[in-house]
Each structure stands twice: as C-alpha cells, then as structure tokens.
C-alpha cells in the first residue's frame, strides 16, 4: 500500500472528503458508487465495479437506476427500443 502524505479529519457522522487528486487519479466522479474493503486494520475504497445484472460481465459496467449494467448490454437494450 502506498502512503500519500495527506490526511483528513473524519466528521461526527463518519464522513471524510476524498482529496480531489485521488478522485481524479482513480476516475471517481460525483455520484459514483464506492465499495469498501478491509486489509488488516486499513479501509480500502474504490469505484464500485459490480458485475452486470444481465451477463455478469465486469467490463465497462455503469450503475444505472441503482443496477450495474455493462456497456454491451446497455447497447442491446437501446437497440431493442
Ligand atoms: Zn452485460
């Protein structure tokens, strides 16, 4: 794990601001869903990369109406209309 030399204070509701440079580096944008993991006593977070509810694929998955859908399945849905 790489130390970044930055720290932020957790507020009374357990919230913390993720530094902009980290969000940009990881491709995290406002409204993205985040998933959490633990590694020893550390908390690791990353942009949610769930699997597609239709094909179970993990490439180019976006969250649409709170469901993970891959770009290929999304295109198939659009083609059906
Ligand atoms: Zn899919």
Taking the centre of ligand 1 as the mean of its atom positions, its distance from the CA of residue 23, in whole angstroms, is 26
Q: Is the domain of 17 the same as that of 55?
A: no
My answer on whether 19 and 31 are in the same domain is yes
Judge if 6 and 32 occupy the same domain.
yes
pLDDT tens across 36-52, in order? 999 999 999 988 878 89
pLDDT value, residue 63: 84
**Confidence at 8, pLDDT banded by 50, 70, 90:** very high
Task: State whether 5 and 22 are in the same domain.
Answer: yes
Same domain for 38 and 55, yes or no, is no
Per the prediction, the chain carries an average pLDDT of 90
Of the pLDDT bands very low, low, confident and very high (cuts 50, 70, 90), residue 56 is: very high
Q: How far is the CA of 60 from the centre of ligand 1 (A)?
A: 9
Same domain, 54 and 69: yes
44/54 same-domain check: no
Indicate the Cα dihedral angle 19, 31, 33, 63, nearest 10°: -150
* DSSP letters spanning 60-79: TEEEETTEEEEHHHHHHHHH
Residues 1 and 40 in one domain: yes
Q: Answer whether 20's CB lies under 8 Å from 26's CB.
A: no
Residue 37 gets which letter from DSSP?
E
Q: Separation of 65 CA from ligand 1 center, angstroms?
A: 15
Structural domain including 76 reads 49-81
Residues 64 and 37 in one domain: no
């Amino acid at each position: 794990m790489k130390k970044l030399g930055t720290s932020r204070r957790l507020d009374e509701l357990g919230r913390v601001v993720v530094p902009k440079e980290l969000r940009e580096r990881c491709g995290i944008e406002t409204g993205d869903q985040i998933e959490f993991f633990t590694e020893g006593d550390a908390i690791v977070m990353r942009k949610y990369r769930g699997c597609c509810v239709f094909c179970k694929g993990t490439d180019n998955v976006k969250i649409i109406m709170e469901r993970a859908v891959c770009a290929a399945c999304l295109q198939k849905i659009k083609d059906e209309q």
